[in-house]
Amino acid sequence: FRSEWIRRVRMEAKLGVLDVEEALKATRDIEKLFDLILSAALMRTGAEGAALFLLDEEGSELFVREAMGFDHLEEGTRIPIDGGVLSKALTTGRPQLVADLEQESPIEWDLVRMRSALLVPLEVRRRITGLIGVFSSKSGAFGGEDAEVMRRLAEEASAALESAQLLARLREEARTDPLTRLYNRRYFERRLRQELKRAARHHYLVSLAMFDIDGFKRVNDEFGHLVGDRVLRAIGQILKRGSRESDVPARFGGEEFAVILPHTSKQGALKYAERIRKTISSRRVKANSTTVSVTVSGGVATFPLDASSPEELIASADFALYEAKMAGRNCVRAAPEREE
């Protein structure tokens, strides 16, 4: 039903019969809420693309929460706040009109591949929490009237997002695993694609470390799933504390974990994985009237030495992990480099 709902909203917005403020207030479905905001932005301005950008918890990066009309812009894409037009809109708190992104703001041009842009801040409880942007392939596509239209839409959207708890939940749901508080697999895969694209463009190494708990079924069978969950949470804490800010630790699935290590050689990845392995093996987790400890096996692979795509890098690290299992578990192995 969602596709039909979107089609109807777009038609009503185009005909000018949609009361966006009332519709936003009435909408409880998060995805519909964002579809409504962006559909209204497209129809009110005649733009070809629209996106909702939210600030992360630290306020150091924006991430794409929803996007319409783009070939290059994906949900989950992260954008550093480092001086582009997005940054200017956030710091000034005012709408930003850009006639030619390629000339005036190459950062955003590389991101959206559209010529002109109009960005308006999204303010919740007197605090800027993100931006709504519309984009066009034509230079100078937007003017002052469009800026006023988008400013009003941002006010309406802000009213619907007034709850800070809702914003926190949106960010959390978009990228984290609820049990371990690590990044989830969906977000991990997006970040891996993005990181490898950047690495290929700027010629640096990206390593991937994968870990699997040895004999985890025994823990669940002997102590129960509640204890198993405690073990998973403990490993999540170790990975978060043992990783750099630029790393991306994630729960890959079940009892398997993966960590993206930008600007890291294979030797550096091996050292990291070995340190994590030792920390996990020394950790004791409360299990009813006793404690339990587990070990992990690890595998590492490096782009572009071992792989030329995200899928190949995951497969290479997973193969190295399999080799560690075959070597007796509780150890780390590196993928062999590809033959040219």
Contact status, residue 256 vs residue 264, Cβ threshold 8 Å: no
In a domain, 15, yes or no: yes
Please indicate, yes or no, whether residues 156 and 188 belong to a single structural domain of this protein.
no
Please indicate, yes or no, whether residues 87 and 205 belong to a single structural domain of this protein.
no
Give the CATH number of the domain where residue 151 resides: 3.30.450.40
Please indicate, yes or no, whether residues 166 and 188 belong to a single structural domain of this protein.
no
Indicate the DSSP class of residue 180: T
Predicted confidence at residue 26, as pLDDT, reads: 60
For residue 132, count CB atoms less than 10 angstroms from its CB and return exposed for 0-12, middle for 13-18, buried for 19 or more.
buried
Please indicate, yes or no, whether residues 139 and 150 belong to a single structural domain of this protein.
yes
Contact status, residue 34 vs residue 52, Cβ threshold 8 Å: yes
**Phi, then psi, of 297 in degrees rounded to 5:** -105, 145
Predicted confidence at residue 174, as pLDDT, reads: 73
Predicted confidence at residue 8, as pLDDT, reads: 53
pLDDT tens for 273-311 read: 999 999 999 999 988 788 999 999 999 999 999 999 999
255 is catalytic: yes
Residue given tokens 């096996």 in the structure block: 297
Please tell me the total count of domains within the chain: 2
Pairing of strands 248-253, 127-136: unpaired
For residue 69, count CB atoms less than 10 angstroms from its CB and return exposed for 0-12, middle for 13-18, buried for 19 or more.
middle
Please indicate, yes or no, whether residues 223 and 274 belong to a single structural domain of this protein.
yes
In a domain, 339, yes or no: no
Pairing of strands 332-334, 296-303: parallel
HSE, side-chain direction, 13 A CA sphere, residue 213: 23
Check 148, 255, 256, 274 and give the catalytic one: 255
Please indicate, yes or no, whether residues 218 and 160 belong to a single structural domain of this protein.
no
> Helix 225-241 crosses helix 266-281 at what angle (to 10 degrees)?
140
Q: Where is the domain boundary, 146, 174, 202? A: 174
In a domain, 227, yes or no: yes
Predicted confidence at residue 14, as pLDDT, reads: 45
Query: Domain range holding 136?
Result: 2-174
Q: Where is the domain boundary, 144, 174, 204? A: 174
Please indicate, yes or no, whether residues 147 and 187 belong to a single structural domain of this protein.
no
Residues of the chain with pLDDT under 50: 1-2, 9-10, 12-18, 164
Predicted confidence at residue 283, as pLDDT, reads: 94
What is the C-alpha separation between 112 and 96, in angstroms, rounded? Answer: 16
Please indicate, yes or no, whether residues 52 and 158 belong to a single structural domain of this protein.
yes
